[in-house]
Structure 1
């Protein structure tokens, strides 16, 4: 836009606003049905407030009795209770408007119809704004939509749109105006909210599908999320008036620069995709990586969240899970075999020791006793002071911990051996002096 046209456009819009303001003032100040409609609107507003005061307690008691409703329905009910006055006012305005349309001239209820439309729009916008999580974005959404609804009801959209479109920046064929920026912001806000809702619904539906593995559920959910948000970004750029073909070379150059600076980030992203595709680990698996032992809480785009038994949450980069040796205790199934080594004295019957050890292990709660998973005990050697055994048993809940179940089995062995008179030897050393003629002197250290 040139500098010569800018003042003319602004003055034209200001003149149009002043003319519309004069018309509204004339409608309000001129005696007749216009003023009567305004008085009716004020009376309906007072009546709505009185109805709210009279029924507020009854509605709250009724709402408390609906405790078993789903959460989304309870949220809507809470929003309705907070806006009782507006709801009563909207209903009363529409009733009066419809009655006056039938019994008198349509022009005598025009203002009431505009107010009813505004009340309805404000109520719907208030409910839709609850879908926006961010408080600042929610406030901007509500005010922008309320202003737009008011302009539509007062038939001022064209005048405001021409003014906002006139204030623009032109670079060659690129035309960026305030109107275009507002439209793009509104479009991006709506699309982002829609993308978030669709992503959540898709994730919930995938989790309910038992035919899809947990890792594939995460992969599909991430793919849908990237696709939706990428589409929102492209549509937002197009809405601002940018030509995407002209940005292809620039985006390629920027991509090369970012690639060198973000090698680790890209490596973790690619590793995360590989992990999801080959299903080597999935949420709920129990893994060991170095000194870290815990179960996978979540699979992220850059890292894997592992929660240990002591409540610590480790964020392990995806690249480490690809390049390092990982022990997955529940990869193919959740059955884990544990081994305990112990020894008994040579005077104890080994057949009895094996039977007592197996019986003691079977008495522990988490130890499995089904076919193919029964505890077994074997002799593994004859030591210097004891006969050495190994006790093997299975569990199906490695997330419950490994150290504690070993401790329970050791304690059961101790109690069983005490009851059966089986001893657990310890090394003993006997020192003999072979040449008794050698003098033996004992010196005390001086303080």
Structure 2
């Protein structure tokens, strides 16, 4: 590990000492510091009133969202912006009076950099990360304004570690972190914009929209990571050495992960299932909420969300109730007594289905006689619906309830099972009583 040389540290110390004695330990500097503190105090007293007015505008729903967003951001910058205005005014007065305003100039430059950087990063809408990026960029600008950027860069570059032909310094790490934050933010923002645009494209099916968005996201993040590694001075060809080891790791340790990933791509390409479809896998019945790289999210009628691995959707038997058409035919078995009017029972069953919501008029409901049972005549009502996502069991229940009401009104009875028990008396043996 290389440490900064004694001579470089000594030169930095003498330069800082000379600057401090020349620019700080003077009466002019003290007067400028007083003006700076006075401007800050005035800004601190006035800014709360401005913030209250801006927050009131922010809560006004009649304004456009962009204007309300601008008011929210301006409310956060009210104090430094007002301080900057007062500082610029004092700088103009000092210059007009022929007073050397070096400290006022430095503070005004720092405040200008902070307001501009914070305003631009506030547009990112990334919360915590926007503040981190703002602080990093402002720190670099502050070092440049104070003429300390080159000296700081030299010290960070001297702090280095060497691994063979690779030299990794603190400066390259800092550059890599800054580049990583910027590139990852750009990749995330671009992927969100592309995903929104793809969802609005009507020429693409939902499965192709999801696949295109995933591929674009992977590509953008790959480019971002490669850019970060290149900024840090890492030779990308060195990763070819690890290709064999990565292949072995994938073959043994990541079988399921790779299998689910490939299965997800296959599902998106062949469009066998897509978001919005109603499927049944094993004992799970529900609507596909989203398709991920590793699993599919299926929301049941109970509100439970199952994360089914993509491999199971490829290898297991899957019932897609809305694959080619959302229309589904349901069957309801019915049993009536032998004393009932069969033709009337069939007509009442079809009428009950017709009177139930969600049942389609075309194709029409039908009712067939299926056979003679032990205790009843077996009928089967068949009807169609086009919204299986809203439930099947509740649909059968609603139809059966209508049938029950109509059968009671027309004296159509539903029999109980009958069992006939015959008791035989065994003959007694001869000569016995």
Compute the TM-score of the two structures, normalised by the length of structure 2: 0.89
Corresponding residue to 2:382 among 389, 392, 398: 392
Bigger drift between 388-397 and 166-175 goes to: 166-175
SS of residue paired to 2:303: coil
Aligned residue for 1:17? 16
String of CA shifts for 1:207-229, please: whole Å, max 9, x gaps: 22222211111111110110011
2:253 corresponds to 1:261: yes
Corresponding residue to 1:296 among 274, 282, 288: 288
2:86 corresponds to 1:92: yes
Deviation at 1:335, TM superposition (A): 1.3
Bigger drift between 350-359 and 76-85 goes to: 76-85
Deviation at 1:68, TM superposition (A): 5.2
Matches within 5 A, 1:140-219: 140-219=132-211
String of CA shifts for 1:134-169, please: whole Å, max 9, x gaps: 84x566544433322211222221111112112222
SS of residue paired to 1:282: coil
Corresponding residue to 1:62 among 57, 60, 64: 57
1:37–1:108 CA contact under 8 A, matched in 2: no
SS of residue paired to 1:254: helix
Rounded Cα–Cα distance in structure 2 between residues aligned with 1:414 and 1:330: 30
Aligned residue for 1:221? 213
Deviation at 1:436, TM superposition (A): 6.2
SS of residue paired to 2:405: helix
2:359–2:384 CA contact under 8 A, matched in 1: yes
CA RMSD of aligned residues (A): 2.7
Rounded Cα–Cα distance in structure 2 between residues aligned with 1:312 and 1:100: 69
Corresponding residue to 1:272 among 264, 267, 279: 264
String of CA shifts for 1:327-350, please: whole Å, max 9, x gaps: 001112211111101122233333
Rounded Cα–Cα distance in structure 1 between residues aligned with 2:291 and 2:327: 23
Bigger drift between 331-340 and 45-54 goes to: 45-54
Corresponding residue to 1:345 among 333, 337, 344: 337
Deviation at 1:367, TM superposition (A): 1.4
Deviation at 1:282, TM superposition (A): 0.9
Deviation at 1:303, TM superposition (A): 0.8
Rounded Cα–Cα distance in structure 2 between residues aligned with 1:226 and 1:319: 21
**Alignment gaps of 5+ in structure 1:** 440-447
1:13–1:160 CA contact under 8 A, matched in 2: no
Aligned residue for 2:431? none
Matches within 5 A, 1:116-155: 116-127=108-119, 128=121, 131=124, 133=126, 135=128, 140-155=132-147
2:88 corresponds to 1:82: no
Corresponding residue to 1:417 among 404, 407, 421: 407
Matches within 5 A, 1:307-326: 307-326=299-318
Rounded Cα–Cα distance in structure 2 between residues aligned with 1:18 and 1:267: 64
Rounded Cα–Cα distance in structure 2 between residues aligned with 1:303 and 1:395: 29
2:352–2:399 CA contact under 8 A, matched in 1: yes
String of CA shifts for 1:286-340, please: whole Å, max 9, x gaps: 1101111111111111111111112221111111100111000111221111110
**Alignment gaps of 5+ in structure 2:** 429-433
SS of residue paired to 2:237: coil
2:1 corresponds to 1:7: no
Change in CA separation of 1:172 and 1:120 when aligned onto 2, cut-off 3 Å: same
Aligned length: 427
Corresponding residue to 2:235 among 221, 224, 243: 243
1:6–1:167 CA contact under 8 A, matched in 2: no
Matches within 5 A, 1:366-381: 366-369=358-361, 371=362, 373-381=363-371
Rounded Cα–Cα distance in structure 2 between residues aligned with 1:73 and 1:194: 24
Change in CA separation of 1:365 and 1:64 when aligned onto 2, cut-off 3 Å: same
Rounded Cα–Cα distance in structure 1 between residues aligned with 2:92 and 2:354: 80
Rounded Cα–Cα distance in structure 2 between residues aligned with 1:389 and 1:68: 63
